[in-house]
Amino acid sequence: LAGMAATGGVFYTGATYPGAFQGVFFYGDYAQSFIRYLRTDANHNLIEADQVSAT
């Protein structure tokens, strides 16, 4: 699809959200209307990928 892109994010290190989100990578996709996250272990291996929200 022309003109569409996923938007990268950051590894969350703050204290505003619940501790379960500490260190996860959040990213979004405007065209598909979602925000998802990736969780990695200490060796940066993917251990979880899930959707946070859909609009």
- Residue 52 is predicted with a pLDDT of 83
Does residue 10 fall inside a structural domain? no
- Print the domain residue range for 30: 22-55
Q: Do 7 and 25 contact (CB within 8 A), yes or no?
A: no
Does residue 2 fall inside a structural domain? no
pLDDT digits (tens, 9 = 90+) for 9-50: 888 898 898 888 888 999 888 888 888 899 999 898 999 998
Pairwise CA distance, residues 42 & 29, whole Å: 26
Does residue 7 fall inside a structural domain? no
Does residue 54 fall inside a structural domain? yes
Phi, psi values for residue 52, rounded to 5°: -90, -45
Q: Do 27 and 7 contact (CB within 8 A), yes or no?
A: yes
Number of domains making up the chain: 1
Does residue 45 fall inside a structural domain? yes
- Residue 55 is predicted with a pLDDT of 61
Pairwise CA distance, residues 49 & 5, whole Å: 19
Does residue 31 fall inside a structural domain? yes
Does residue 49 fall inside a structural domain? yes
